[in-house]
């Protein structure tokens, strides 16, 4: 079995309340308040489903990738994201295999994560994101105390 975990499934929407309606009807509740990720030009509302999240993405400016996606394709599935332990190492490994990342290194994502996207052509028609979560509080202190 693969060790890779599905971190989130992202859906583009022009309006978070409109986009949330089906998930609220299914009985889900937003996980915390909406969050703006300025670097990506998006506002995010997340719903926990088991070990993964449904993330609704609304553009916050006209040059947001989500605005471009909505113009071209309309609302719907935007990307899937997979959790990795060491994003820089995973990027180096995949780059050595000819992968096509959209940024040279990790960039900030939601909830303190670092993320990197692979071009949809490389993803055979889907946009794929890799996510590294911040180390849990206390992990850094433990690391220091070991040295
Ligand atoms: C919430 C923060 C963070 C998190 O913590 O999770 C996020 O998820 S932020 C999410 C938003 N950010 C991004 O998507 C950043 C990466 N994306 C991009 O840089 C661009 O969107 C893109 C992937 C390069 C596409 O931009 P576009 O201008 O359309 O580029 P191209 O013209 O080169 O498109 C190539 C090709 O790919 C098709 N396409 C575009 N988007 C998607 C998509 N989401 N899924 C599948 N296919 C997609 C596009 O239609 C083109 O196809 P052809 O027309 O057939 O060539
Ligand atoms: Co994402």
DSSP characters for 73-140?
H-SEEEEEEEE-S-HHHHHHHHHHTT--BSSSS-EE-GGG-EEEEE-TTTTTTSEEEEEEPPPPTTHH
pLDDT > 90 fraction of the chain, expressed in percent and rounded:
88
Residue carrying structure tokens 């960039």:
107
Indicate the pLDDT class of residue 147, thresholds 50, 70 and 90.
Answer: very low
Average pLDDT over the chain reads: 94
The yes/no answer to whether this complex scores an ipTM above 0.85 is yes
- The residue whose CB lies within 8 Å of the most ligand 1 atoms, and thus the one to mutate among 12, 38, 60, 65, is 65
Mean pLDDT confidence for 11-15: 98
- Looking at per-residue pLDDT, the higher value among 142 and 82 belongs to 82
The per-residue pLDDT for 142 is 60
Q: Cα of 40 to ligand 1 centre, how many Å?
A: 11
Q: Judge whether residue 111 has pLDDT over 70.
A: yes
């Amino acid at each position: 079995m693969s060790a890779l975990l599905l971190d989130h499934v992202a859906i583009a929407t022009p309006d978070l309340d409109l986009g949330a309606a089906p998930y609220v009807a299914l009985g889900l509740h937003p996980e915390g308040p909406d969050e703006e990720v300025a670097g990506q030009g998006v506002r995010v509302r997340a719903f926990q489903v088991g070990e993964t999240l449904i993330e609704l993405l609304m553009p916050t400016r006209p040059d947001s990738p989500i605005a471009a996606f909505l113009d071209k394709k309309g609302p719907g599935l935007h990307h899937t994201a997979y959790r990795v332990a060491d994003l820089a190492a995973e990027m180096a490994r995949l780059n050595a295999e000819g992968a096509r990342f959209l940024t040279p290194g990790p960039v900030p994502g939601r909830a303190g994560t670092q993320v990197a996207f692979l071009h949809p052509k490389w993803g055979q028609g889907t946009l794929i994101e890799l996510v590294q979560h911040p180390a849990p509080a206390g992990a850094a202190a433990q690391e220091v105390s070991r040295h």
